[in-house]
Amino acid sequence: MERLDYRKIGAESWRALGALARTVEEGGLPHSLIELVKLRASQINGCANCVNLHANTLRKEGVSEERIQNVVVWWEATCFDEREAAALAWTDAVTLVAETRVPDDVYDRVAARFTEKELSDLTFAICTINFHNRLAVAFRRVPGS
């Protein structure tokens, strides 16, 4: 059961977060990559609402079920290219920052495949979905609501 509707109660902050999310979306990275990253962070954070949302968005964009289902085990999957795998590794490290401290080898891997601007945009995308996940999990947002 949803604890409270943070989107209504914190409407001004919610709009500001939405503006940040739109900025990230317009940053130039492929939308499918951003959605893969959002799905992965949402899986790590246990956010059912966001897992559902981003998996369905990927389906609507024509991403295969194989790729959607293998995000959870991206490091073993053969359906992601090196750039996508580096972005997913970066997502894991940044999302789990308290545990990982974002290791140099993960940074080196992602920095070799993204420009500085792209890496900045990717990291903002990861931080933004983590923000959304934390709100949805804390207030028990119901999937699809």
In the numeric block, which tokens belong to residue 11?
């409407």
Dist. CA 34–CA 145, nearest whole Å:
22
Mean of pLDDT values over 126-136:
97
* Domain assignments of the chain as residue spans, ordered by start: 6-138
pLDDT digits (tens, 9 = 90+) for 86-130: 999 999 999 999 999 999 999 999 999 999 999 999 999 999 999
Token pair 């559902």 is found at 52
Whole-model pTM: value is: 0.95
Q: CATH code for 6-138?
A: 1.20.1290.10
Report the amino acid identity of residue 38.
K
pLDDT digits (tens, 9 = 90+) for 73-89: 999 999 999 999 999 99
Confidence of residue 28 (pLDDT cuts 50, 70, 90): very high
